[in-house]
């Protein structure tokens, strides 16, 4: 029996807390973290296989990830495109 590997491994560092998750849909992973409040900027680290990228979001943009679905969709597509280069 083979165990299916997740496509993405994601870490969100925010408010002195580290959220970790993995799965095949980047947007669903990020939405699952659902931080309770935003007092600091956020660093989103995404790993796909051996490739790794990170993105810093100031407080107002970190809030936007969870309140504006279009912004979230655009940011996740942009991060996925980094891996296709």
- The more confidently predicted of residues 65 and 5 is 65
Overall average pLDDT of the 12-28 stretch = 92
Q: How many helices (H) and strands (E) does the chain have?
A: 3, 4
75 confidence band (pLDDT: 50, 70, 90): very high
pLDDT given for residue 73 in this prediction: 95
Pick the closest to residue 57 from 68, 49, 47 (CA basis).
Answer: 68
Q: Where are the beta strands (DSSP E) in 3-85?
A: 8-14, 17-23, 42-48, 51-57
pLDDT given for residue 44 in this prediction: 95
Exposed/middle/buried for residue 39 (C-beta within 10 Å: 0-12, 13-18, 19+): exposed
Overall average pLDDT of the 16-25 stretch = 93
Domain borders along the chain are: 8-83
Overall average pLDDT of the 57-75 stretch = 93
């Amino acid at each position: 029996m083979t165990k299916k590997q997740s496509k993405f491994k994601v870490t969100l560092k925010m408010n002195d807390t580290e959220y970790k998750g993995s799965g095949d849909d980047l947007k669903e992973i990020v939405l699952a973290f659902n931080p309770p409040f935003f007092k600091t900027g956020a660093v989103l680290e995404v790993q796909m296989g051996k490739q790794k990228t990170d993105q810093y979001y100031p407080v107002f943009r970190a809030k936007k990830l969870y309140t504006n679905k279009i912004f979230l969709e655009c940011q996740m597509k942009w991060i996925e495109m980094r891996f296709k280069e």
